[in-house]
Amino acid sequence: MASHPVGKSLFLGSFVHCKSLDKIETFHDTAVFVDEKGVIVAIEPQCDEKKATESLFPKLCWKSGDVTIRSTKPGQFFFPGFIDTHIHASQFPNAGIFGKTTLLEWLNTYTFPMERSLADLSRATRVYTRCIQRTLSHGTTTASYYATVSVPATNLLADLCLSHGQRAFIGRCCMDTLSPEDYRDESPESGVEDTRKTIAHIAEIDPGNQLITPIITPRFAPSCSSELMSGLGALHKETNLPIQTHISENHNEIAMVKELFPEHAHYTAVYDDHGLLTPKTILAHAVHISEEEADLIKKREAKISHCPASNSAITSGAARVRWMLNKGIEVGLGTDMSGGYSPSILEAARQASLVSRHVAMTGDDAAKLSIEEILYLATKGGAKVVGLGDRIGGFETGMEWDAQLIGMGSVDEVGGMKEEEGPVDIFGWESWDNCIEKWVFNGDDRNTRAVWVKGRLVHERNGCK
Ligand SMILES: O=c1[nH]c(=O)c2nc[nH]c2[nH]1
Ligand SMILES: [Zn+2]
């Protein structure tokens, strides 16, 4: 499949990104030059369009007619695209539907039936197309997706992400036990073989994994036999492909793992003993892990996807993110849709803030996460979790242009709106930092005016891309 052509671009105006876990960096009156491969080739401070075209274009051997120019309006800023480190594309139609269930009941009631139904490829096309468009519209430029057990439907998700231009990790969901008879892998061997089929398909459509990467996906220990997990561990060793799974989300699940795998020290050890705990492993949830488990995760350099909306919605618990960060574990954010009710990483960021306050209310005041920290987890932290920390998550020369243009409404003299309406009202007296805080806690996809992945415009609000 041919990749979408991208021209050279010049972005002008205000830029905001996370320099580190505790520092947001803002630069105004700046020019960012992005080449036809979607790579930032220069960043020039104190630079307007005239200076960019007259002084910088000749240095880059660029001609004005070849370059698309996009400038921020007052109050707007470019921000790195969000990275969703854990999301189930196959559960998208269920977003918001969870009743009063907890994990195991939720899986059987809502989740397995929906996933199984996507073996029908016309249904899968509708669901996956909408999921990709919806997440792009919320600024998600990279997603680590769970698909389903079905190889054709999983391959279809890879095709659609590529054609819509969303950077994605695509996981065929492996499970050969404790799941519906008609929705599981036939055997450990077929589970590994079917995973190979998706790996081969992605190698064909995106050789070099410019945008799409397969990810080895044992659903979670309770639904995988030891043989299947060993086979997938061996597949990781052979291919060095990333791995994603769930861990320690819910007390009943943890009790099940203890019963099913009594010879292993704990839940984390089950994955470790099967070759599935590596620097390329993304562990979703980790709500109830012990000190010993966290130390092992750190030792293996495995990563954690914090899914706060999901953990509250299906009453799993409050993950101790500060504690993980203090141990030096890399953490990113996941929507975990549809355990999480929302496809938005902005929503995940504010839920991470609120959940950290609930942890603080149990006696650890230092647990509170700041605005800088939640935005870091949503961008740079997520990039490290998916193994792309050197390519995406911030604005630096050599990194790729995965970005969103954020805009907020400004209030006129009599309380009306001067510009496009939206959920955030800017009066004009707020500091720049206050504007960012108002966006994070009140904003939504109406503020995401445009989105780019690898330099390609993939979403424009109220417009055609
Ligand atoms: O949040 C979750 N979503 C799932 O689909 C799932 N499967 C196992 N464990 C899970 N947790
Ligand atoms: Zn999940």
pLDDT digits (tens, 9 = 90+) for 217-250: 999 999 999 999 999 999 999 999 999 999 999 9
DSSP-derived 3-state class of residue 112: helix
Is residue 142 within 8 Å of residue 402, measured between CB atoms?
yes
The predicted-structure confidence for 380-412, as pLDDT tens digits, reads as follows 999 999 999 999 999 999 999 999 999 998 888
CB 414 within 8 A of CB 324: no
For residue 84, report the phi and psi dihedrals to the nearest 5 degrees.
-95, 105
Amino acid at 22: D
Q: Is 88 in the pocket of ligand 1 (CB under 6 A)?
A: yes
> Measured from the CB, is residue 86 less than 6 Å from ligand 1?
no
The Cα–Cα gap between 422 and 424 comes to 6
> How many helices (DSSP H) and strands (DSSP E) are in the chain?
17, 20
- The finding on whether 308 has its CB within 6 A of some atom of ligand 1 is no
- Rg value, the chain, Cα: 22
Biggest alpha carbon–alpha carbon distance for the chain: 70
Q: Give the C-alpha distances (Å, rounded to integers) separating 81 from 129, 130, 164, 166.
A: 19, 19, 15, 11
> What HEC string does 253-269 produce?
HHHHHHHHCCCCCCHHH
Ranges of beta strands (E only) in 52-139 are 67-71, 77-80, 82-88
Query: What is the distance between the alpha carbons of residues 21 and 394, in angstroms, rounded to a whole number?
Result: 12
Atom of ligand 1 nearest to the CA of 338: 3
Indicate whether residue 249 lines ligand 1 (CB < 6 A).
yes
Closest C-alpha residue for ligand 1 atom 1? 339
Task: Report whether residue 310 contacts ligand 1, using a CB cutoff of 6 Å.
Answer: yes
Q: Which ligand is nearest to the CA of 253?
A: 1
CA of 93 to the centre of ligand 2 (A): 15
Neighbours of 425 (CB within 10 A): 15
* pLDDT at site 3: 55
- 224 CA → ligand 1 middle, Å: 13
Position 334, amino acid = G
Query: Which atom of ligand 1 is nearest the CA belonging to 111?
Result: 5
> What is the DSSP code string of 54-120?
IIIHHHHT--GGGEEEEEPPTT-EEEEPEEEEEEEGGGGGGTT--TT--HHHHIIIIIHHHHHHTTS
DSSP 294-353: HHHHHHHT-EEEE-HHHHHHTT-----HHHHHHTT--EEE---BTTBS-S-HHHHHHHHH
Give the span between the Cα atoms of 125 and 160, in whole angstroms.
Answer: 8
- Give the pLDDT confidence of 21-56 residue by residue, as tens digits: 999 999 999 999 999 999 999 999 999 999 999 999
User: 171 - beta bridge partners?
Assistant: 146
CB–CB of 309/341 below 8 Å?
yes
For 327-362, the pLDDT digits (tens) are 999 999 999 999 999 999 999 999 999 999 999 999
Confidence of residue 465 (pLDDT cuts 50, 70, 90): very low
Residue 80 CA to residue 95 CA, distance in Å, equals 25
pLDDT at 135 over 50: yes
Q: pLDDT per residue over 142-152, tens digit each?
A: 999 999 999 99
Spacing, Cα 249 to ligand 1 middle (Å) = 8
Q: Per residue in 153-205, pLDDT tens?
A: 999 999 999 999 999 999 999 999 999 999 999 999 999 999 999 999 999 99
Quick check: CB of 356 below 6 Å from ligand 1? no
Atom of ligand 1 nearest to the CA of 336: 1
Distance 9 CA to ligand 1 centre (A): 40
CB 144 within 8 A of CB 118: no
| Residue nearest atom 11 in ligand 1 by C-alpha distance | 246
| Domains of the chain with bracketed CATH | 8-80+395-460 (2.30.40.10), 82-385 (3.20.20.140)
* ipTM value for the complex: 0.98
Ligand 1 near 246 CB (within 6 A) = yes
> Cβ contacts of residue 31 below 8 Å, gap of 6+?
10, 11, 12, 42, 43, 44, 47, 48, 49, 51, 52, 56
**Closest ligand 1 atom to Cα of 88:** 5
336 lines ligand 1 (CB under 6 A): yes
**How many other CB atoms sit within 10 Å of the CB of residue 361?**
12
Identify the residue whose C-alpha is closest to ligand 1 atom 2. 339
98, 219, 245, 260: which to mutate for ligand 1, most atoms within 8 A of CB?
A: 219
Q: What proportion of the chain, given as a percentage, has pLDDT over 90?
A: 94
Q: Is ligand 1 within 6 A of the CB of residue 339?
A: yes
| 280 Cβ closer than 6 Å to some ligand 1 atom | no
What are 239's two structure tokens? 């291919």
Long-range contacts of 370-373 (CB under 8 A, 24+ apart): 370/22, 371/24, 371/436, 371/437, 371/440, 372/18, 372/21, 372/22, 372/23, 372/24, 373/21, 373/22, 373/325
CA separation for the pair 78, 430 (Å, rounded): 18
- Please work out whether the CB of residue 115 comes within 6 Å of at least one atom of ligand 1: no
Which ligand is located closest to the Cα atom of residue 110? 1
Pocket test for ligand 1, best of 116, 148, 217, 220 (most atoms within 8 A of CB): 220
184-207 burial, b for 16+ CB within 10 Å, e for fewer?
A: bbeebeebbebbeebbebbeebbe
Cα(247) to ligand 1 centroid in Å equals 9
Determine the residue type at 313: A
Residue 243 β-bridge partners: 216, 281
**Cis omega (within 30 of 0) on the bond before 338?**
yes
- pLDDT over 80 at 252, yes or no: yes
Give the SS3 label for residue 163: helix
Considering every ligand atom, which ligand is closest to the CA of 175? Answer: 1
406: alpha, beta or left? (left if phi > 0; alpha if psi -120 to 50): beta
Which atom from ligand 1 is nearest to the alpha carbon of 253? Answer: 9
Work out the burial of residue 16: count CB atoms within 10 Å of its CB; fewer than 13 is exposed, 13-18 middle, 19 or more buried.
buried
Nearest atom within ligand 1 for CA of residue 146: 5
Using DSSP's 3-state secondary structure scheme, residue 371 falls into helix
Q: Average pLDDT of 417-439? A: 91
pLDDT band for position 463 (cuts 50, 70, 90): low
Return d(Cα 17, Cα 25) in angstroms, integer: 5
* Residue 44 contacts residue 10 (beta carbons within 8 Å): no
Distance 283 CA to ligand 2 centre (A): 9
Mean pLDDT of the chain: 96
Instruction: Return d(Cα 316, Cα 329) in angstroms, integer.
Output: 21
Q: 213 C-alpha vs ligand 1 centroid, how far in Å?
A: 21
Distance 289 CA to ligand 1 centre (A): 16
Contact call for residues 144 and 85 (beta carbons, < 8 A): yes
Which ligand is closest in space to the CA of residue 106?
1
pTM exceeding the 0.90 threshold for the entire prediction: yes
